[in-house]
Amino acid sequence: MPSPILLVHGAFHTGECWSLLEPHLAARGFEVHALTLGGHRGNPRPAGSVSMTSYGEDVIAAAEAIGRPCLLVGHSMGGMVISQAAERRPDLFSAMVYVTAFAPAPGESNSRDAAPISQKMMAAMAAGMKMLPDGTAEFPAEGAKAVFYNCCPPQIQDQAAAGLSPQPMTGGADSVRTTEAGLGAVPKHYIECTLDEALPIESQRAMQANMAFRSIQTLETDHSPFLSMPEALADALARAAQA
């Protein structure tokens, strides 16, 4: 039986983003857990109290509740989050998979230091991102379709954009500090997506030099393979779990 799998979403998303992937993982024998980070829709927390530390604590609490070491998967900003969690509690995780995700450099770094986002992503944010009084921001639906879901069918694009969550602005900006004794102790894998319009493949590959990945797999799809290519992503995760 494979390790349980714990799925960690990225910015502007919730645990619901994995819903198309979960049955494919279950069919491959995984016990699947998908959490929603505090401060995102469905897991209330004042935006001002959200940090990379609180995100890491959310992941640690979810892993402790599972009760045995799990395969930890992070998407996009979730790569920083899982790094924070594994640095503090490497014993909770059998391995980690970064899915077109930010991978921090050794020592102290944040997502802004890691690698540049795309010009298309920056333009979408500049054109329509709405800052809210509670300290969160809303990503524009049309921009999300263009940069997050560009390989998805229109119906999936519409559903995914409608499910976006306001993002606490303090959450994704924090630095994480990693060590060989913490994060370095957990086996790591990367799944890159070549048609990603948010985190370009060049940025993904630059970050792959930040740590020793046991395997790197390639999917010819967008920033959201859990929606555009869920069966292929499930296969890739199963291979990582066995590597």
Low-confidence ranges of the chain (pLDDT < 70): 172
C-alpha radius of gyration, the chain, whole number: 16
Report whether 137 contacts 171 (CB < 8 A). Answer: no
Q: What whole-number distance in Å separates Cα of residue 204 and Cα of residue 18?
A: 21
So what's the pLDDT on residue 178? 94
So what's the pLDDT on residue 115? 73
So what's the pLDDT on residue 118? 81
So what's the pLDDT on residue 120? 87
Q: What whole-number distance in Å separates Cα of residue 196 and Cα of residue 222?
A: 4
Query: Taking phi first (over 0 means left), then psi (-120 to 50 degrees means alpha), and beta for anything else, what does residue 29 get?
Result: left
Q: What whole-number distance in Å separates Cα of residue 237 and Cα of residue 243?
A: 10
So what's the pLDDT on residue 69? 97
| pLDDT tens digits along 189-201 | 999 999 999 999 9
Report whether 222 contacts 151 (CB < 8 A). Answer: yes
Report whether 72 contacts 96 (CB < 8 A). Answer: yes
So what's the pLDDT on residue 203? 94
Q: What whole-number distance in Å separates Cα of residue 215 and Cα of residue 201?
A: 16
Exposed / middle / buried, residue 108 (Cβ in 10 Å: 0-12, 13-18, 19+): exposed
Residue 215 belongs to what H/E stretch? strand 215-219
So what's the pLDDT on residue 117? 81
- Beta strand 176-178 pairing with 107-109: antiparallel
- What domains appear along the chain, each with residue ranges and CATH number? 5-242 (3.40.50.1820)
What is the number of alpha carbons within 13 Å of residue 199 lying toward its C-beta?
29
Range 187-220 burial, b when 16+ CB lie within 10 A, else e: bbbbbbbebbbbbbeebbeebbebbebebebebe
